[in-house]
Amino acid sequence: LLSAARLNNTELMEQLISEVGDHEVLADLINNCVDLLGNTSLHLASKYGSYEVMDIILDQEGVEVDPVNSIEGNTPLHVAVQYSKEEPEHGCFIIETLVDAGADPKLKNKAGLKPIDLVDSNNEEYEKII
């Protein structure tokens, strides 16, 4: 699951969905499977710009769109904003996808920052989305 999210491997993601079968078990796996830093598959998809796998994950019933990682307290939306600094156009799409899926832009991380606080001050487009 985490590899699929990190590498945008849709084939691996579809295989996992097929093998798990039960949507409740799948949602539980997606919501609770984390790496050593507490990042879920949505965090990793946001960090690496894996929009196709992100779309598949968000299509699953019962998936939490605002999980918080254990190190910084970031949601996938926080991570997507950070990613967008490296890949502005692609990052904008990731941010829009998360917001459209119901990500809460008002949630603060451990530093007390909302995703909007991480946006470069000259980027009005992101400010409108978030």
pLDDT at residue number 91: 86
Instruction: Please name the residue ranges forming H helices in the chain.
Output: 2-7, 10-20, 23-32, 41-48, 51-58, 76-86, 88-100, 124-129
CA distance 78 to 82: 6
Check pLDDT > 90 for residue 20.
yes
The total number of residues written for the chain in this structure: 130
Q: Is 8 exposed, middle or buried (0-12, 13-18, 19+ CB in 10 A)?
A: middle
**pLDDT tens-digit readout, 56-86:** 999 999 999 999 999 999 999 999 999 988 8
Architecture, CATH, for domain 2-129: Alpha Horseshoe (1.25)
DSSP category for residue 72: T
More confident residue, 89 or 129: 89
- The band of 90, judged by pLDDT with boundaries at 50, 70 and 90, is confident
CB atoms within 10 A of CB 75: 28
Which residues fall within 8 angstroms of residue 52, CB to CB, at 6 or more apart? 8, 10
Express each pLDDT in 94-116 by its tens digit.
999 999 999 999 999 999 999 99
The reported pLDDT for the residue numbered 87 is 86
